[in-house]
Amino acid sequence: MVRTALWLPELGIFDRHYAVKTAGESDEHRYPDPDGFVVDMPMGSYSRVKEMIEMSKTRGEYKHPLTRLGWWQPCWL
């Protein structure tokens, strides 16, 4: 926390009037709508927001979302 407290003044003075005026003014200053996904689970549909960050060496999506043990439909192997 000390390092963060020492780093914050280096960011400079933040002009609130400029921020209010600029926010949402153009596509460059607008948050994109998040993408979501839905997966069928034994307990019903599971919906979640996808990550908004894309990493170059990480797959964009996984075959199975992170779930608890025993949440999948029973099936023959």
Query: What pLDDT score does 51 carry?
Result: 74
What residue segments make up the domains of the chain, in order of their start? 2-49
- Give per-residue pLDDT as tens, 30-39: 777 888 888 8
What are the tens digits of pLDDT across the range 3-21?
Answer: 888 887 788 777 888 888 8
* Confidence (pTM): 0.36
Instruction: Give yes or no for a contact between 36 and 42, defined as CB atoms under 8 angstroms apart.
Output: no
Residue 11 neighbours by CB under 8 Å, 6+ apart: none
Element (H, E) at 40: strand 36-41
